[in-house]
Structure formats: C-alpha cells, structure tokens
Amino acid sequence: MNAGTQMVKLTYREAAREGLRDALARDPRVFLMGEDVGHYGGCFAVSKGLLQEFGPERVRDTPLSELAFTGMGIGAAMGGMRPIVEIMTVNFSLLALDQILNNAATLLHMSGGQFNVPLVIRMATGAGKQLAAQHAHSLEGWYAHIPGIRVVAPATLADVRGMLWTALEDPDPVLIFENNTLYTMEGELVVDAGPVDIDHARVLREGGDVSIITYSASLHKSLAAAETLAVEGISAEVIDLRTLRPLDDATIMGSVARTHRALIVDEGWRSGSISAEISARITEQVFYELDAPVERLCSAEVPIPYARHMEQAAIPQAESIVATVKRMVQSHG
Amino acid sequence: MKNKTKQTAKVDRDHGLRLLRKMLLIRRFEAKSAELYSAMKIRGFLHLYDGEEAVAVGVMEALTPEDAVVATYREHGQALARGVNANAIMAEMYGKKEGCCRGRGGSMHLFDAAARFYGGNAIVGGGLPLALGFALADAMQGKKRVTCCFFGDGATAEGVFYESLNLAALWRLPVLFILENNLYAMGTAICYAHAVADIAPKAASHGVQTEIVDGMDVLAVEKGARRGAEFVREGNGPYFIECRTYRFRAHSMFDAELYRTRAEVDKWRKRDPIASFFDLCREQAVLSDADLEELERDVAAEVDGAVAFAEAGTWEPVEELTRYVYSERRPR
Ligand SMILES: Cc1ncc(C[n+]2csc(CCOP(=O)(O)OP(=O)(O)O)c2C)c(N)n1
Ligand SMILES: [Mg+2]
C-alpha cells in the first residue's frame, strides 16, 4: 500500500489540525492568529501542539481584540502574508464584522481591482452544546449574503482538512465555518489527503424521490434521515452544499430536475436565510420540474436557548427531516 | 491613583459572619456545581469563581438594593453575593423552568430583575456599554444610584473598554467599574495580551478616578468599593477599582490548563480569601472554629436545598420555545 491510499482513523478536530499543520509547513507566509490558539491549545483544541511545533511567530495568541486582529489579518494578507485568522465562534465574529464587510469584502472592488485580500478566517458555528444565546448561532448564511467573500462549511474530514489548503490559494477572502458539534466526529482519511475544490456541492447519496439540500452538521442528520426513509421505500438524494457562497446552482438544479422535490435543511434562522435563497433559485430555475412545493427545515426563530430539550427542539433533527419528506412524498405522490 | 496597602482592620462579629458566610456559600455552591457538571446535570460552559470570592462579596457590601449590577459569564459569585436566590440559580443551571431565567440562559446568563442583576453576559466586554446606559438613564432621571459593572483583564483588550471609559468620564456617568484581574484571559497570560500589563493607569488616563485593591482580601475590596460607590453616588463621575485576584480552577470545564504551572496555582492558593479572612477573624477572637463549623453546616444545607429544588423542578414545555422573542404585552 503506498502512502496515497493508506487510511488513518481520526476526528474532525484532528483533520482540521492536520490542515493547519500542512499549511504552516508548506508555506512560510502562512501564520495562524487568534485568541488562545497557542498556549491554551485552541478553544476547541484544534490548534493544540502547533505553538510548540511552529513557534510563536507563526502561531500567535492575540488579545481579546476581534476587530483589530481581523483587520490586521486583512492588512497582512495584502502585505504579502497568508494569514489564517481564527475567531472562536461566529457570535464573536460580530465584533469583527465591520472589518470583514467594509474592508475584506470591498477592497478589491473599491480599488478598481488593484488590491485583493488573500485572507482565510476560520470560526466555529452552530448549536448543540447548550452554550445558549451568545455562543450558539449559525450565522454562516448571513456571511453568504456578502459579495466579495467566499463562504465554505466543511462537513467531512476530507473537507475540513482540504478546504483550508484551497482557501489559502484563493486570491480572495474565504470564511471557513466549522460546526462545533462535528469536532468529535470520527472517520477515516487518506494519510496525505490534499486540497479539495471549494466550488462545487457534492451529491453524497443518490436517490430518486426527493433532494435534501443541506450542509455542515445538518448533513449528517440528513444522511441518517435518508437511511430511515430508505427502509420505508423512499429514496432521498442528499446534497452537501459545501460552499454557501458562491452557490453551486448546477448541482442543485440537476438533482431537483431528477427528483422533482426539494427539501432544504439549514441550522440558520428561516427568514431571509440561505435556505430562502436556495428556494428562490429553485423556483426561478427549475419551477416546471417540481412535483411539490419546495420545503425548508430551519432553526426556530428564537435565540438559541440553554436547556437541552429546548435547544434540540430549536434546530432541525433527523426525525423532523423524515417527517417532512414523508409528507412531501405522500401528499404530492 | 491611590495604591492601598493591606491594613488589618478590626472586624465586627456580625460583619465577619456575613462576609464569611457569603464567600463560603459561593465556594460550596460552585464545588457542588462542578460535581453536577461531571454528573451531566449541568451542561454548556461553567466558569467557576473559585479564588475570587472576596471580590464580589466585598463589592456588594457597598451597594444598596437600588443600585444595578452588570456581571460577566463567571457570575455565580456575583449573583449569589448580590442576593440572587441560590435555588433559582441552581435550577437555571439545570435548565429547569423554575430557574431564574426559565432555563433559557444557563450558567452564563443569570438575570434577576428583583435584585437589579442585569446578567450574565458571555460576550467579553459586552456588559460595559450596557452599564453606561443604566448610569445614563439614572443621571437623566435624577436618580442617585450606582451601576456596578464587573469585567475581567481580558475584556480590557477590547475596543469597547476604552470607548466605555472615555464616555463614562466625558459624561461623568455614575458607574463603578470593577476589574477582576486574575492575570489570565482563558489561557492567555496578561503578558501575552497587554503591552502594558498595568491596567489601572489606562483607566486613569481616560480621566476616571482609579484605585487598586488586593482582591484576595475581602475587607480591602469592601473598603475600596465603599469609597468608590460613595464617590459615584455623590455625582463625581465614574470610579474604577482594579481587584488583583486569581482563579484557582480551570477557566471552564473544557480547560486542560496547559498554560500555567501547578506551583503557580499552589502559591496563590496559600492566599485563599476565605481561609485568610477566617484566620484574621480568629486572630481577633471575633470568630471561632465552632462558628466556622456552624457556617459550613448552614451553607451545606442551603446548597443541598438548592440542588433539591433544581431536581424537583420541571422542564418548560417545548410549545413555549418561541416565547420571549418579542414582548408579550404590546400597546394596542
Ligand atoms: C467577544 C468574545 N471573545 C471571546 C470570547 C471567549 N472567551 C470567553 S471568556 C474569555 C476570557 C476572558 O478573560 P477575562 O476577561 O480576563 O475574564 P476571566 O475569564 O479571567 O474571568 C474568552 C476569550 C467571548 N466570550 N467573547
Ligand atoms: Mg481574567
């Protein structure tokens, strides 16, 4: 067996760390900065050991100054470095939103194409750990509203390792959202897994009755739901969007044209969301292929509550996916 | 800026009993909380105040029930010292409906309108401008009240800290700033986060009256807080107290403590605010070992009662999930 096909068992967290290690080892311009990425080992232990391995020049603990160090990442990227800025969770990225939107996303355009910003920002997102309403939201869909940045959401080990590589080669800002419930997910990956494309969605399970269009943690719930549905004779296709901006319309529409039904599962809030955008595009582009109205399963429109039963009730679940698909297939058979 | 050194004040018995009981309650309540976390009764993030009890207890002595408190996510101590009911706090951490926020907030988001306890803020520095707003509202309504805002050394790296200091001084707002300087922001030691590790002069440079106290000495904290609260209440503008303290335990239950040595923690543990205050009271023959034993029994009963209350609590029905997104009473 050569190194290219040798598989190793690891967690999503470890795969993310391997991605960082690859990047730091490969390119001397790459450095990681953010709160507690060094001495603490990363708030989700992703960067554990990297300070010891690469030193404090390359793995930089920052003060609690999200606005300043994110803006600094933009400047450093323009100045010839390849920074990876880590923001602990998406809620805290709101302190840096000004720099992300008003600088990172606009400088290329405002400068008439003179200045691109090759910056990567990673952050954790999502509910499920009872962290309540200032730590648990899924705002990646908001970021996908912004032209000028790319938004990716790795749901698999290969993606969390390989998307970083590709993002660092991109001339423009890329935001990487890692759902915090995925860090402990285990799987197998090729030892020297490399870059993966960040332009396309992927059909992870083929089916003929309905397209479940989703991403990140909801992907795994959708795959579980598809298993259950298969037992009951319903064949669901599951699409991992992978990239929320730009959306891969071709893969989405191709699937819906085959299955004639679409369910979008999104941990973000429903109103004004990425799921609303996808639904609109489906009706714009393949309306006459549809056998049923497009449906969406999103988070309840509440700040995420602490109590476990309430938190779980607030976000999409495999059971609610199964029930929705059954209803769609049965009432519009 | 005044630099107060430790003076051994004479303690009055009732006062000593009250301070000791409050600190003990926080310590035992949190030890129980940590156990309940391991038993998976409490989830999410749990930040213990272990080692810092003298700060909240000393400060609250200087406040009246009319004053307001804005706290951090490490706020069990601040809440208990303020008089938020222990049962309601424990039930909140269980996620029960009988909790002080119906289980919506958990450990990091304790709120209590009756105690004028305005959270429980888990965005570092997020409480500072809120506190300014309470103070502004009081000033504009002619109310002689103090708004007391707690925050950590980590928060003083955020831009909002400097913006808030400037505004408070500029508009002479009645804010009592309480810096809990425990030398770390999560695992980042103050030397890795601040070019100038002395924080108090930064407040002073904004024109805020400033003082540094030994945060391991409850009497020193109380004295400083009384001075500060009086200054603020008299309409002299904001007052800033840096309390030098230390957290004995991990940042949260997810912390492997890779960033500090056992020896450093042990050194600080020798300055335990509870043990040293009790020793002082015993030296002065104000309190005896028997008093301490009785307090321990009393506090244990309160903690057990809180656990029993939380255990007996109920889960809010999921049908109520979307309540409290908007106010239920609106003008017609
Ligand atoms: C804006 C923001 N950034 C980061 C965090 C994550 N975080 C929570 S507590 C903490 C350290 C804060 O340190 P400090 O202010 O000194 O308070 P302490 O925990 O020491 O009491 C960090 C980085 C957060 N909650 N909010
Ligand atoms: Mg601190």
Q: Per-residue confidence at B8, pLDDT binned at 50, 70, 90?
A: low
Chain B positions touching A303 (Cβ under 8 A) are 325
Residue A153 amino acid letter = A
Each residue of A194-217: pLDDT tens digit? 999 999 999 999 999 999 999 999
Calculate how far, in angstroms, residue B245's C-alpha sits from the geometric centre of ligand 2: 9
pLDDT of B6 > 70? The answer is no
pLDDT at B124: 98
Q: Which of A14, A18, A35, A66 is catalytic?
A: A66
pLDDT of B5 > 80? The answer is no
Q: Per-residue confidence at A333, pLDDT binned at 50, 70, 90?
A: low
User: What percentage of residues in chain B have a pLDDT greater than 90?
Assistant: 95
Q: What is the ipTM of this complex?
A: 0.95
pLDDT at A4: 58
The H helix count followed by the E strand count for chain A is 13, 14
pLDDT of B20 > 90? The answer is yes
Instruction: Summarize the confidence of residues B2-9 as an average pLDDT.
Output: 54
Instruction: Summarize the confidence of residues B313-318 as an average pLDDT.
Output: 98
Each residue of B67-123: pLDDT tens digit? 999 999 999 999 999 999 999 999 999 999 999 999 999 999 999 999 999 999 999
pLDDT of A3 > 70? The answer is no
**Three state DSSP letters for B148-177:** EEEEECHHHHCHHHHHHHHHHHHCCCCEEE
Nearest Cα of chain A lies from the Cα of B146 at a distance, in angstroms, of 27
pLDDT at A1: 45
> Comparing C-alpha atoms, which of A64, A32, A29, A66 is closest to residue A49?
A32
List of domains in chain A: 9-190 (3.40.50.970), 202-331 (3.40.50.920)
CB–CB contact A65 B109 (8 Å): no
CB–CB contact A63 B188 (8 Å): yes
Chain B positions touching A305 (Cβ under 8 A) are 103-104, 321
- What residues flank ligand 1, with Cβ below 6 Å? A 35, 64, 66, 88, 92, 95; B 74, 122-124, 152-155, 180, 182, 184-186, 251
pLDDT at B3: 47
CATH code that applies to domain B2-310:
3.40.50.970
Chain A positions touching B314 (Cβ under 8 A) are none
Give CA–CA dist A252/B175, Å, rounded: 55
Each residue of A256-308: pLDDT tens digit? 999 999 999 999 999 999 999 999 999 999 999 999 999 999 999 999 999 99
pLDDT of B172 > 90? The answer is yes
Q: Which of residues 164-183 of A touch B (CB under 8 A)?
A: none
Mutation for testing the A interface, residue in B97, B107, B321 having most A CBs under 10 Å: B321
pLDDT of A2 > 90? The answer is no
pLDDT at A5: 81
Size of interface A-B (CB pairs under 8 A): 125
Please tell me whether residue B233 adopts helix, strand or coil conformation. Answer: helix
Give CA–CA dist A34/A70, Å, rounded: 9
Each residue of A24-83: pLDDT tens digit? 999 999 999 999 999 999 999 999 999 999 999 999 999 999 999 999 999 999 999 999
CB–CB contact B193 A313 (8 Å): no
* A170's tokens: 């991109």
pLDDT of B9 > 90? The answer is no
Residue A11 amino acid letter = T
pLDDT at B1: 46
**All residues at 6 or more sequence positions from B34 whose CB lies less than 8 Å from its CB, including other chains:** B46, B48, B249, B253
Please state whether the predicted TM-score (pTM) of the whole model is above 0.90: yes
> Comparing C-alpha atoms, which of A223, A222, A171, A179 is closest to residue A198?
A171
Active-site annotation holds for A260: no
What ligand 1 atom has the least distance to the C-alpha of B151?
15
Q: How far is CA B221 from CA A44, A177, A286, B185, in A?
A: 35, 43, 69, 21
Active-site annotation holds for A66: yes
Give CA–CA dist B168/B171, Å, rounded: 5
> Is B171 within 8 Å of B178 (Cβ atoms)?
no
**All residues at 6 or more sequence positions from B220 whose CB lies less than 8 Å from its CB, including other chains:** B4, B6, B7, B58, B213, B214
pLDDT at A332: 58
Sign of CA dihedral B249, B250, B256, B258: negative
